[in-house]
Structure 1
Amino acid sequence: MTRLVAAAAGVLLLFVAPAAAPAHSRGGCADRFLFCEDFERLPLGGAASLEWGIDTKHGTLTVERHRGDRVLHVHTEGNGRAFLKVDDFAPPGNSFYGRVRLRVAAFPTAPDWAHYTLVEATGQGPEIVRPLGGQYVPTLDRALWGVGADGGPTGDWTNWRESAPSVAGRWQCVEWRADATDNRVEVWIDGRPRPDLTVTTTQHGGNPVDFVFPRFDTVKIGWQLYRGDPTPAAYDLLLDDVALSATRVGC
């Protein structure tokens, strides 16, 4: 907004008010990122890129327009999966940060203990690391975020927290850090640190076996559910501004 302001000496001064900040700051892609995808350069329709692959079973990935932006629509049926897959990933020091903006239409409400993954990192080593996922907890009748893992000596676990409900129907910016120094995974939601979701070599939900990262070479981002005949029977989420980096990306 521009307006005239009268000065004491009678001179008119031109005052330009600062523009209002955008309601939703966009991430975009920068050269410093190890990987980045904002979907703006991709055609609408079935998702495909020379920069990343696809891993699906009973699921689809589609580039769609949403409120002026291009986003990735992830759809799965039952306990299917649909992931954007980053191969040949070699983070320095086997440690990296990630960020994704997401909107999940609904989380599972059945069967009991159904758990879901949105980000999965694998490589040379038996552990499958899940920096972003969660589980439907029937004793609380809620779906809760929790860092998880599978395979290797620690087996299948999701370190869900009652303090971190999985919220459906609205956009959120989720960041994570995988730090190989002590096999630590940290999480931020909408720019706020969530120490309740942190796991480390020896602190990961009471499992007495040490949790150790593989040598990462693949990161998958999307959706997978691990129990059959779930409610709802199908799952939809929108993803945008995916980034992997050696330093924190931010929202």
Structure 2
Amino acid sequence: MTRMRKIAVLLAAASATLLAIPPTSASAIPQRPLFHENFDHLPLGPVTAGRGWTTDTSDGSLSVERSADGHGRELRLHTEGNGRAFLVLSDLAPPGNSFWARLRLRVERFPVAPDWAHWTLAEASGSDLPTLVRPLGGQYVPTEKANFFGVGSDLGPTGDWTAWRTSAPATAGSWSCVEFHLDATDNRVTVYLDGREQSDLTVSTEQHGGTADDFVFPRFDRLKLGWQLYQADPTPSSYDLRMDDVTLSTRRVGGCAS
């Protein structure tokens, strides 16, 4: 075989190989998250800041501890009374003012007093409007003698409200994979618990637990994740929450790492 024929054969084989490889779509390209933290690279002990986040506490503390299963590390948040302890993401600028969040959570105990005790696990805000959007939170409902998740808001035109639902019970002492989507196209909050959409918890511009005024997102630049209880002298008198595998993205991330 002449040299020129060998080259032609090699070029033909290379072309056939390239044609056999399916084109890569834009959706198949791995996307870099807006934020990710699994706490595995932080030293054990009290913590006031991490990679791209700070803390906000009052009668509360945050610490990095070994995971109970011995794999990796997790964040423990502790409060006394109606204190607060939050991991804080500042200087957010999500594209289109919309984003997905996914995290693992374990609340050791929920309040059983006073009646209607109100707690928050996530709070998004912006400097342009006073509205606080609370995609994860809930209340102790004395008529049901149980705690339930509810999306809520405070300040702004719709005031203070928490749209809890008995279809979304808050279970203490076990890990949950929690997701929420803040979609600015119609100021919609969608919540997923362990991979399942909780449609009863969805709120939007005209579908929410506040007044007749429209519910409108601020331009998000801050997200707090942690625990706050608002009523004084609650029972129990202290609270512990564990958090791991936190991710923010412009797309749904999916299930939590085990």
Moved over 4 A (4+): none
Segments of 5+ residues of structure 1 without an aligned counterpart are 1-29
Whole-Å Cα distance in 2 between the matches of residues 139 and 51 of structure 1?
Answer: 42
Whole-Å Cα distance in 2 between the matches of residues 149 and 218 of structure 1?
Answer: 15
Q: Output aligned runs, 1:17-166, within 5 Å.
A: 32-47=32-47, 48-66=49-67, 67=69, 68-123=71-126, 124-166=128-170
Whole-Å Cα distance in 2 between the matches of residues 87 and 246 of structure 1?
Answer: 17
Q: CA deviation at 1:206?
A: 5.6
Whole-Å Cα distance in 2 between the matches of residues 31 and 243 of structure 1?
Answer: 12
Whole-Å Cα distance in 2 between the matches of residues 164 and 39 of structure 1?
Answer: 28
Q: Output aligned runs, 1:233-244, within 5 Å.
A: 233-244=237-248
Distance 1:39 1:31, change over 3 A: farther
Conserved 8 A contact 2:182-2:188: yes
Give SS of 1:215's match: coil
Distance 1:172 1:50, change over 3 A: closer
Whole-Å Cα distance in 2 between the matches of residues 168 and 78 of structure 1?
Answer: 18
More strand by proportion, 1 or 2? 1
Q: Deviations over 1:190-223 (max 9, x none)?
A: 1111101100011112631211000000001000
Whole-Å Cα distance in 2 between the matches of residues 201 and 31 of structure 1?
Answer: 29
Whole-Å Cα distance in 2 between the matches of residues 35 and 91 of structure 1?
Answer: 11
Conserved 8 A contact 2:160-2:210: no
- Aligned-residue CA RMSD (Å): 1.1
**Aligned partner (choices 205, 220, 224) of residue 216 of structure 1:** 220
Q: Which has the larger radius of gyration?
A: 2
Q: CA deviation at 1:94?
A: 0.3
Q: CA deviation at 1:236?
A: 0.2
Whole-Å Cα distance in 1 between the matches of residues 117 and 207 of structure 2?
Answer: 22
Whole-Å Cα distance in 2 between the matches of residues 227 and 125 of structure 1?
Answer: 25
Letter matched to residue 35 of structure 1: F
Whole-Å Cα distance in 2 between the matches of residues 103 and 41 of structure 1?
Answer: 21
Whole-Å Cα distance in 2 between the matches of residues 240 and 62 of structure 1?
Answer: 12
Q: Deviations over 1:88-130 (max 9, x none)?
A: 0000000000011011001111101111111100002121000
Whole-Å Cα distance in 1 between the matches of residues 146 and 50 of structure 2?
Answer: 36
Q: CA deviation at 1:31?
A: 5.9
Give SS of 1:93's match: helix
More helix by proportion, 1 or 2? 2
Aligned residue pairs: how many?
222
Q: Deviations over 1:48-91 (max 9, x none)?
A: 32411110000000000012220000000010000000000000
Whole-Å Cα distance in 1 between the matches of residues 159 and 115 of structure 2?
Answer: 19
Q: Deviations over 1:162-205 (max 9, x none)?
A: 11110101000000000001100001111111101100011112
Percent of aligned pairs sharing the same letter: 63
Q: CA deviation at 1:138?
A: 1.1
Distance 1:31 1:52, change over 3 A: farther
Conserved 8 A contact 2:102-2:247: yes
Letter matched to residue 71 of structure 1: E
Give SS of 2:96's match: helix
**Aligned partner (choices 192, 203, 212) of residue 199 of structure 1:** 203
TM-score by length of 2: 0.84
Give SS of 1:203's match: coil
**Aligned partner (choices 232, 242, 246) of residue 236 of structure 2:** 232
